[in-house]
Amino acid sequence: MRFDYGYEEEKLGRNYDFNLLKRLYVFGKPYKLLFFWSVILVLSITLLDLSLPYITKIAIDRYIVPRAAPHENILKPDGKKTGYYRADLSDPAVRKLLSERGIVFEEEGSFAFIPLDEIREMDKRDIYILRKNDFKGVGITASILLLLVIAGFCLNFFETIVMEYAGQRIMHDLRMRLFNHIQALPVPFFTKNPTGRLVTRVTSDVQNMHEFFTSVIAFVFKDVFLLAGIMVVLISIDWKLTLASFTVIPFVILASFRFSGRAREAFRTLRVKIAEINSKIAETIGGIKVIQLLGKENENYDRFEKLNHENYIAGMEQIRVLAVFMPLIELLGSAAVALVIFYGGISVIDEKITLGALVAFISYMKMFFRPIRDIADKYNILQNAMSSAERIFIILDTKDTNDTRDINDTKDTIDTKDINGGETGSSVLLNDRLKFDTIKSVEFRNVSFCYVPGEEVLSNISFEMKAGEKIAIVGPTGTGKTTLLNLLTRFYEPSSGRILINGTGIKEISPSFLRSKMAIVMQDSFLFSGTVRENIARGKSGITDTEIDRIMDLSNCREIIDRLPQGLDTVLSEGGKSISSGERQLISIARAFARDPEIIMLDEATSYVDSETERQIETALNNLMEGRTSIIIAHRLMTAQRADRVIVLNKGKLIESGTHEELMRLKGFYYRLNNI
């Protein structure tokens, strides 16, 4: 195993987006129906958006600026054809106006074709009579536009609700999967990965996945549909003008490819720096007393400033990429509109297209570059999400997990899946119960272990203990005493050799069942934020008030609990730091009692307390060890004198074993330890 004591994260190789998307699809699959309806809503919104400029075109060409095409029977004085306005003669007011004003016109069926020059000489009242239907048509088209805008608002509202619900559910599932997986990882993983790094994975990295599922997926569909629809409409209006305006597209594609590569690296670096900052902050908060005691605030500030500056540099690189790309897209979009105005304006003058068509064309071109800008923005989110996904899957791909489920919540008759999707369980746990209903023996057989390859902490350790036996483990600091407990609980696995319970290797026993038979009281016990009652009850689910009352007496902690403001319902801060170390020890002993374990492991549980509290703790520990197999790490050799057997370790090797009296008569290493 290689330890990572710093904050620098591993560099990632090329991880193709498609592979990551396939893995993310697993989390979105349960909500595919929601995504389906979201796509339907997006498609409807896109159709509404496409209709707005076209309705504007109709309003301009049909009602506001009627087409001034020449009529073959209407000529100017010089003999050239002129434009006309077609009036409806079925309207009596129109016929009366033409008759009274003596306006010259050509009549075809129920329509009068009036020269535009005649129209221009009329006053506003006459024009209103003549174009009454046009005014009415403008009102109708304006009403239609308003209704379409309202419909678009409603559809956007429902689409947002659907996507946000799906995104929140996916984020919930992903975070729970990641949290569950992290809980099942072995202790070496947490030695290698700082707390801040893991917090970043479960919080901000998962949040980036939410933005991906809610912002990217639906809007990519919308933008793709919108681009395709705009191209179809533009070609139908005038394909030559469409080709002229699309001459800027190759430049847009080139800019997008250049942007994508730089953006991916920028976001990767930014995710790393954020995780490193979180790790440093977590370390600072956890070690604030030591930092202040040693007067290292300035030095710690300088280290954080370096990390923060690196984060600033990474953020500025991301901004530089966006600061170049987004204005470039705006520039290309403006160039496309300029081409449309130039060529389209000439076409209007030459009467090849109508003014309404040109106005619609300009609107569509502006609309065409809006999805491109959106796609660039969503690509920004996508790259951020892919960088986070890479880091999340690094953790989920860590396969060295342990089954840490509470066996009390697992039914013997139900086959379940473990957190990695493999078969577990209930059958294994059932077999464990049948084999190890009572632990009769624990044996270390030629066990060796090293945290770092080539540097052994334990070497060929062999000893056996029977049920109910109390063994004390003594030796200098750093000789591997606590490591023995870590191996027995399977926090770590031996490098070689075996640990057996009732003659069966512990690797064949599910960790959850194995640990349900054990309890550990450490030098500095950890309590969870919550009430005292909840901390004691964490040792066993479904514990009753009567049992807690008995446990308080056995653990000798009734007096300290009664002194607390709300007794058992007093809320403790994180780690139990709101109470003294001695009080934490007594509550942790009560928690051990609640488990009713068969094996008790004590890692010098009286190291950090005063003499009076030590006596209280020793009484509680004696009650706890009564009739139970006990392993005691004894820094104070007086503790070892009360053990049934003493095992002496030095430099990772078992050098002596026997009772206190036997080892004192031997006058070896243990004897010298007692006489120091």
pLDDT digits (tens, 9 = 90+) for 306-339: 888 988 888 888 788 777 777 887 888 888 888 8
pLDDT at 281 over 60: yes
Mean pLDDT of 637-652: 87
Bridge partners for 88 per DSSP: 111
In the chain, what is the straight-line distance between the N-terminal and C-terminal CA atoms, in Å? Answer: 36
Query: Mean pLDDT of all residues in the chain?
Result: 79
Share of the chain above pLDDT 70, in %: 86
**pLDDT tens readout for residues 72-82:** 444 444 444 45
The rounded distance, in Å, linking the Cα atoms of 530 and 328 is 55
pLDDT at 510 over 50: yes
The rounded distance, in Å, linking the Cα atoms of 248 and 225 is 20
Cβ-in-10-Å burial (0-12, 13-18, 19+) of 374 comes to middle
pLDDT of residue 471: 93
The rounded distance, in Å, linking the Cα atoms of 630 and 466 is 10
Instruction: Find the DSSP H helices in 287-354.
Output: 288-293, 297-349
**pLDDT tens readout for residues 142-154:** 999 999 999 999 9
**pLDDT tens readout for residues 247-257:** 888 887 777 77
Confidence grade of residue 261 (pLDDT, cut at 50, 70, 90): low
**pLDDT tens readout for residues 93-119:** 877 777 777 777 777 777 777 776 677
* Of the ranges 181-185, 379-383, 627-631, the best mean pLDDT one: 627-631
pLDDT of residue 465: 92
State residue 124 phi and psi, 5-degree precision: -65, -35
What domains appear along the chain, each with residue ranges and CATH number?
17-62+137-396 (1.20.1560.10), 66-132 (no CATH), 468-490+514-674 (3.40.50.300)
**pLDDT tens readout for residues 123-143:** 777 777 777 778 888 899 999
Which DSSP letter does residue 70 get? E
**pLDDT tens readout for residues 287-305:** 776 777 667 788 888 888 9
Cβ-in-10-Å burial (0-12, 13-18, 19+) of 148 comes to middle
pLDDT of residue 438: 81
pLDDT of residue 496: 92
Long-range contacts at 456-462 (CB < 8 A, ≥ 24 apart)? 456/495, 456/652, 457/483, 457/652, 458/483, 458/484, 458/487, 458/652, 458/653, 459/652, 459/653, 460/497, 460/653, 460/654, 461/497, 461/649, 461/653, 461/654, 462/497, 462/654
**pLDDT tens readout for residues 201-237:** 888 888 888 777 777 766 777 778 888 888 888 888 8
